[in-house]
Chain A
Amino acid sequence: MKRYEVIIVGAGPSGLSAAIEAAQSGLQVVVFDENGRPGGQLFKQIHKFFGSKEHQAKIRGVRIGENLLAQAKELGVKVILNATVLGIYKNKEVSVLIEKEVQNYKADAVIIATGAAENMIPFEGWTLPGVMGAGAAQTMMNIQGVRPGSKILMVGSGNVGLVVSYQLMQAGCKVEAIIDAAPRIGGYGVHASKVARTGVPFYTSYTVLEAKGNATDGSVSSAVIAKVDERFKPIPGTQIELDVDTICIAVGLSPMSQLADNAGCEMTFAPTKGGNVPVLTQDGETSIKGIFCAGDVGGIEEASSAMIQGKIAATAIAQELGYIDHDTFEEKKSIYADSLLKLRAGMFAPGSKGKVIDKTDEGYTISKSILTHGYLAESELSDFPALDTSGGEHIVIECTQNIPCDPCQSACPQGCIIVGDNITLLPKLSKEKKCTGCGLCVGVCSGQAIFLVNDSYADGYGTVGLPYEFLPYPKAGTIGKALDRSGREICDATVVEVRANKVMDKTAMLVMKVPLAQIGSARFFQPIGLESLEGVS
């Protein structure tokens, strides 16, 4: 039986990070993954991540994946693909199906980093082709390069539902609606806003009743949604039939903890962690010494924290097996723990699950409009700290919820934006420093919540610079309509400039000219002749 010091199951963000950390400490490590390509779900995350620099904030998930792979390769980490782990046993033996044969391995330590699977909700017709997980749609379009459908209904307004909706539009699909049975939008307000301002309607307190099939092949041809009462029961007479060919379900994730259970680890049912999970120590060790879990398998969070958890588990193993001394372990662990703590703060932190939060940490009233419609009401915005009312060219930061993120602070070469060490706090504008209108923050903000406004552009006209990630990139001179935060057409607009550079990584800053009276409302640009965003081909 072949031996390794560490066997890692899963080559996603957590497993790869663990492998890198273990290899750096000198451990002999192997990673098994059932897929043909490594990276887990990272390569379909084409949006920019949140957090701070240490969490690789403002970098797209796909690039983080590429970096992890490059690092693993450089360290000589052995990643065995198409290798399905079928079982793990108490004595740290691992059965792996490789090429039609089951092979057994023995390890001194095992890290289970198998991630999570999408939750589903049943409704009439949910087995019809065309109903799929939001992650499935994401795989089809971002990995395979094929649109899952043309007209989409998104069920679920958590971050997955919001991010995938946005990416569906980037792929050239039309998102007809995003619905959620809860009365509030579940994901980050900034993610909701970037979808809302393109004109996608949100229906909170709505559920999907039925998927109807077409006469040709029986796949989805429409969806019936209805409003629900406080007990989530559909209210008769509120049905709306939507003309869609695809229904994406984004109602949360469940840890894939079967291997931990199979090994005999103590399990617990923890709704806040997403279901049945192994009981873990701070280092991620299960009740069986030497068997660890890292990432979503131990409780649903996101990729950034999964990567840190992987590193913590590997560090603990390195100490246990004598590759690093106790002091080094404590030092590393405290850095990682601190890093993890930063991500686990704010309104959407695991500890805030299920709580209704009405005020920010600073005491500002959280926008009700953003929670129900997905966009800020202009009247609510004036309450927040980052509203610059001075004249000339200046930025407006529409970041109104406590989420762990600070790239705007380091992006500004002038030091105009202040978040501070507590990255969950809202950004503020410096009173002394003056914005030069470079627009870097506009392109860098992972939430696409910063706008560059100029109220002295020309007689009667101002400009609004906004983050833009759709094809075709309009050129200077392109004529279109300006949309407000809700996606409603408010006036004519002309593109005066499209700025892009390496730091902004494919997010352009589109500057449009609008009547002066509209610079506080105009937040998106729609070229004329393109009713939707189907401008891809």
Chain B
Amino acid sequence: MGIIIRTKHTQPFIPQPDDSMIICRCEEITKGEIRKAVYDGMRTINEVKRYLRAGMGLCQGQTCQRLVLGIIASESQISAGELGHITGRMPVRPATMDYIGKSTEHSEGVERYESK
């Protein structure tokens, strides 16, 4: 990821007919909201994520990351490769906070093939 030039859009946000289309399925964030975020100065995928919660839901951006990147890239005219990726953080899968809090070194659950 290189340096991102943050020239503000001088043109006003123009609504599009498909702005109401859901992009982030988990958090129900629309294409219009993401487009607007770019006009509000958001550039990287992580900025948009924090600004709108797109990619912050249960699936952690598994489905929408590519789509959000595509929208930011086309609105900002910056190539998708420059816009970063949603930071991979523990837990990378949905897990109840209660379980994470109780981090232990217990026995090993279900084993399909126990070695002798």
Q: A residues engaging B (CB < 8 A)?
A: 1-2, 34, 38, 72-73, 76-87, 95, 97-104, 117, 119-124, 126-127, 254, 256-262, 267, 269, 271, 275-276
Query: Could you tell me if A101 and B110 are in contact, using CB atoms closer than 8 angstroms?
Result: no
Q: Which residues of B91-116 have CB atoms within 8 Å of chain A's CB atoms? A: 91-93, 95-96, 99-100, 102-106, 108-116
Query: Could you tell me if B100 and A86 are in contact, using CB atoms closer than 8 angstroms?
Result: yes
Most chain A beta-carbon contacts within 10 A, residue among B63, B111, B113: B113
Q: Which residues of B contact A262 (CB under 8 A)?
A: 88-90, 92
Query: Could you tell me if A102 and B92 are in contact, using CB atoms closer than 8 angstroms?
Result: no
Residue of A nearest to B89 (CB): A262
Query: Could you tell me if B18 and A124 are in contact, using CB atoms closer than 8 angstroms?
Result: yes
Q: Confirm or deny: B87 has a beta carbon within 8 angstroms of a beta carbon on chain A.
A: yes
Query: Could you tell me if A260 and B103 are in contact, using CB atoms closer than 8 angstroms?
Result: no
Residue of B nearest to A260 (CB): B88
Report the interface size class on chain B.
35 or more
B7-51 near A? 1/0 per residue, CB < 8 Å? 000000000001001110100000100000000000000000000
Known interface pairs A102-B100, A102-B104; A87-B91 also in contact (CB < 8 Å): yes
Contact of B21 among A77, A124, A259, A275 (CB under 8 A): A124
Q: Which residues of A contact B85 (CB under 8 A)?
A: 261, 267, 269, 275-276
Q: Which residues of A contact B31 (CB under 8 A)?
A: 122
A479, chain B: closest CB distance, angstroms:
48
Query: Could you tell me if A101 and B108 are in contact, using CB atoms closer than 8 angstroms?
Result: no
Q: B residues engaging A (CB < 8 A)?
A: 18, 21-23, 25, 31, 60, 62-63, 65-67, 80-81, 85-93, 95-96, 99-100, 102-106, 108-116
Query: Could you tell me if A76 and B115 are in contact, using CB atoms closer than 8 angstroms?
Result: yes
Cα separation A97 to B111 with both chains bound (whole Å): 14
Query: Could you tell me if B105 and A80 are in contact, using CB atoms closer than 8 angstroms?
Result: no
Q: Which residues of B contact A275 (CB under 8 A)?
A: 66, 85
Q: Which residues of B contact A258 (CB under 8 A)?
A: 60, 86, 88-89, 92
Cα separation A83 to B104 with both chains bound (whole Å): 14
Total CB contacts across the A-B interface at under 8 A: 126
Residue of A nearest to B59 (CB): A117
Known interface pairs A102-B99, A262-B92, A276-B85; A120-B63 also in contact (CB < 8 Å): yes
Contact of A127 among B22, B96, B114, B116 (CB under 8 A): B22
Cα separation A2 to B105 with both chains bound (whole Å): 7
Query: Could you tell me if B95 and A102 are in contact, using CB atoms closer than 8 angstroms?
Result: yes
Query: Could you tell me if A86 and B113 are in contact, using CB atoms closer than 8 angstroms?
Result: no
Q: Which residues of A contact B104 (CB under 8 A)?
A: 101-103
Q: Which residues of A contact B103 (CB under 8 A)?
A: 95, 101-104
Query: Could you tell me if B112 and A87 are in contact, using CB atoms closer than 8 angstroms?
Result: no
Cα separation A1 to B103 with both chains bound (whole Å): 11
Q: Which residues of B contact A267 (CB under 8 A)?
A: 85
Known interface pairs A103-B106, A119-B66, A267-B85; A80-B111 also in contact (CB < 8 Å): yes
Query: Could you tell me if B110 and A80 are in contact, using CB atoms closer than 8 angstroms?
Result: yes
A354, chain B: closest CB distance, angstroms:
15
Query: Could you tell me if A81 and B99 are in contact, using CB atoms closer than 8 angstroms?
Result: no
Query: Could you tell me if A97 and B95 are in contact, using CB atoms closer than 8 angstroms?
Result: yes
Q: Which residues of A contact B60 (CB under 8 A)?
A: 258
24 contacts between A and B (CB under 8 A): A1-B105, A76-B115, A78-B114, A78-B115, A83-B109, A84-B95, A85-B93, A86-B100, A87-B90, A87-B91, A97-B93, A98-B106, A98-B108, A102-B99, A102-B100, A102-B104, A103-B105, A104-B103, A104-B105, A122-B67, A126-B22, A254-B66, A259-B92, A262-B92
Q: Which residues of A contact B92 (CB under 8 A)?
A: 85-87, 258-259, 262
Contact of B102 among A102, A104, A127 (CB under 8 A): A102
Q: Which residues of B contact A98 (CB under 8 A)?
A: 106, 108-110
Q: Which residues of B contact A117 (CB under 8 A)?
A: 62-63
Q: Which residues of B contact A261 (CB under 8 A)?
A: 85, 87-88
Contact of A38 among B95, B112, B115 (CB under 8 A): B112
Extra pairs beyond A80-B108, A127-B22, A257-B88 (17, CB < 8 Å): A72-B113, A76-B115, A78-B113, A79-B111, A80-B111, A84-B95, A86-B91, A87-B89, A87-B91, A101-B103, A102-B102, A103-B104, A117-B62, A126-B22, A254-B66, A258-B92, A262-B89
